[in-house]
Structure 1
């Protein structure tokens, strides 16, 4: 079994085990392969192994490699998972299928103007970190009301580094219930199992998929 296929199989199996422990259907969880800083050849290996959802952090990088890849693999779903500049909204709307990082009114306005109608996650700053994007928890009700023109699929968060992530995942799960949205985009290479057990519908895994 090629390395890429082996890594993909192992992570899918771990996600399925975590889901079953939490009495969830593994099919409820979408694995997004974070392909930032990865070559088209590395991405192709995962596509050939059966992976179909990929995530990029920057519009500029995505535009250099994904148009050709998508022509060869039109069933791939491309997720924008990094902070998106408002002046890149039109490019993002043309290239991506899902946006995970809506975090301010100006970006919402730019996306509406660009004709964006795809699934959209609101990023929440669950750790109240000044250096990190995301809507403050206290501001979330008003923000969700202000962005009703977009298709809000759920909430996304990145917990503080080097801290136990489970309490932040549990908090985001409570916020999803409170605000009557369904999607939970949370969990990365180091903590995707915990995220799956606590309700994630999307996990974003990079290093564990691309490196031994």
Structure 2
């Protein structure tokens, strides 16, 4: 089995390779190591290899792992990349440095109240339902400009846009569409791309890629 450090170097090298023809700097792409479902002992080798940006899907799971890890590695940056329930807003604001799944007015209201209470502003990506899929979270494309106005008015910093393209379909058109939506709305951040398609995402402008399997191996492995 490859070591975590080796897998990390391979992913970083892939990002750098793709950046060259896209005329981008690899340093402009943030690699989020998605540590969901993986215990602390699987995460520590990546921390020891120098990686500091991690992503979790669930608030409760992150609460069980990260306080102790952060005691040892206080410079960790933790991203919430999964769907967030409004009743978990206080916990999310207390634990995470960036939230990737702001997608509806009720959650906006809950997060704004939680941030006011905590006295800190957590940057948020607005998740877009880029494939218009009923089962997925995300703001509808048609509703995006109005929703972004509400987010700006709330005082929550907008980090950019985030999407998860439909499964088993070529993702490039969806990534390109998200990049256009971000540009049209004056935003630079693009959270898009996972283990199977992060190279395509980087080529099309991703500033944040969410990579789990390529770094940790299959879940439970």
The reply to whether residue 41 of structure 1 matches residue 41 of structure 2 is yes
Map 1:82-161 → 2, pairs under 5 A: 82-115=82-115, 117-148=121-152, 149=154, 150-161=156-167
Structure 2 equivalent of residue 71 of structure 1: 71
Is 1:194 aligned with 2:200?
yes
- Measure, in 2, the Cα distance between the counterparts of 1:93 and 1:6: 33
SS of the aligned residue for 1:114 comes to helix
SS in 1 for 2:195: coil
Matches within 5 A, 1:170-185: 170-185=176-191
Once the two structures are TM-superposed, the CA of residue 169 in structure 1 deviates from its matched residue by 0.3
Shift of 1:184: 0.2
Number of residue pairs matched? 212
User: Residue deviations 1:96-145, cap 9 Å, x none?
Assistant: 00000000011111111111512110000000000000000000001001
What is the CA deviation profile of residues 161-209 of structure 1, one whole-angstrom value per residue up to 9, with x for unaligned ones? 0000000000000001000011000000000000000000000000010
Q: 1:181 to 1:4 in 2, by over 3 A?
A: same
Larger CA deviation: 114-123 vs 54-63: 114-123
TM-score scaled by length of structure 1: 0.98
Matched, 1:26 2:26: yes
Q: TM-score, normalised by structure 2?
A: 0.94
Quote the residue 1:204 is aligned against: 210
Structure 2's unaligned 5+ residue stretches are: none
**Distance in 1 of aligned mates of 2:106 and 2:62:** 22
Q: Take 1:42 and 1:64, find their aligned partners in 2: how far apart are those partners?
A: 14
- How far, CA to CA, are the matches of 2:149 and 2:212 in structure 1? 33
Q: In the TM superposition, what is the alpha-carbon distance from 1:211 to its structure 2 partner?
A: 1.1
Q: CA RMSD in A?
A: 1.2
CA distance in 2, matches of 1:50, 1:163: 34
Distance across 2 between alignment mates of 1:158 and 1:69: 28
Q: How far does residue 2 in structure 1 lie from its aligned partner after superposition?
A: 6.3
| 1:21-60 Cα deviation digits (max 9, x unpaired) | 1111111100000000001011001111111100000001
